[in-house]
């Protein structure tokens, strides 16, 4: 019986994935010092060469940074980096789009209900003003203005929820949401559909209708998903599906 040696690169790939998971699953936080090579070798049962190559890969991908005379640390800007990487997948990656839609349903439906229950008068007025501007953009066929106002409306709704964490989450993911909005707007008539969805949510929030606001936001996000499905069904995206 003849066995082939396992290529070192296989060990490097496996080590890289395990070490990356320490960062992505929250075991290690932004700014934390990365374990030493000796510690990692002992725990993973591989050579220092493997660990060094794995760390080099993680530094190259932007998850780790090597500080001279200090050691290796998890990057401080990991959340922004991950969001930036996800933004790149929104035009082609069905998994990224599906995950974003799931996250939006969790956060934005709740935010709409909270806004209807808690939003002060000035926050409700801000939503109305942004809705008016959005509708003017639709009438003028100005999609760039619409996209900008759409993003501002979602940020204003999060602010109106009076939940600082929700507001911060939307602010942190604004680049991802902006990219998503631009993808949706590539579908003909999507600006009009989106504006109507925003109108229903705004009206419910202004009236203080908690369940109505949540239902309206759910309906709006369902409409958005339908437009994304339509976009991926177009000839230039015929090889992609959102299942």
Domain ranges (residues) in the chain: 8-75, 81-237
pTM of the model: 0.62
Run of H or E including 72 = strand 71-74
Query: What is the assigned CATH class of domain 81-237?
Result: mainly alpha
Considering the domain 8-75 in this protein, what is its CATH number? 1.10.10.10
Q: What pLDDT, in 10s, does the model give residues 198-220?
A: 999 999 999 999 999 999 999 99
**What pLDDT shows up at residue 76?**
76
Query: 123 CB contacts (<8 Å, ≥6 apart)?
Result: 115, 156, 159, 160
Q: What pLDDT, in 10s, does the model give residues 77-107?
A: 665 555 555 555 455 556 667 777 888 899 9
Query: 202 CB contacts (<8 Å, ≥6 apart)?
Result: 127, 128, 131
- Paired tokens of 122: 């000035």
């Amino acid at each position: 019986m003849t066995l082939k040696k396992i290529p070192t690169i296989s060990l490097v790939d496996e080590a890289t994935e395990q070490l990356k998971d320490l960062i992505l699953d929250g075991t290690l936080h932004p700014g934390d010092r990365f374990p030493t090579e000796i510690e990692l070798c002992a725990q993973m049962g591989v050579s220092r060469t493997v660990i060094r190559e794995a760390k080099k890969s993680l530094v190259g991908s932007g998850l780790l940074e090597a500080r001279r005379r200090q050691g290796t640390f998890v990057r401080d800007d990991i959340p922004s980096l991950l969001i930036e990487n996800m933004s790149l997948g929104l035009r082609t990656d069905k998994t990224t789009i599906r995950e974003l839609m799931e996250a939006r349903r969790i956060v934005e439906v709740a935010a709409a209900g909270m806004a209807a229950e808690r939003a002060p008068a000035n926050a409700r007025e801000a939503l109305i003003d942004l809705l008016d501007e959005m509708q003017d953009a639709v009438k003028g066929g100005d999609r760039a203005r619409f996209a900008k106002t759409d993003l501002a409306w979602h940020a204003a709704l999060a602010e109106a929820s009076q939940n600082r964490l929700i507001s911060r989450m939307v602010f942190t993911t604004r680049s991802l949401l902006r990219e998503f909005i631009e993808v949706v707007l590539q579908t003909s008539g999507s600006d009009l559909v989106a504006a109507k969805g925003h109108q229903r949510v705004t009206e419910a929030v202004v009236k203080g209708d908690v369940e109505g606001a949540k239902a309206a936001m759910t309906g709006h996000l369902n409409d958005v998903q339908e437009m994304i499905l339509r976009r991926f069904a177009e000839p230039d995206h015929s090889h992609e599906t959102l299942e």
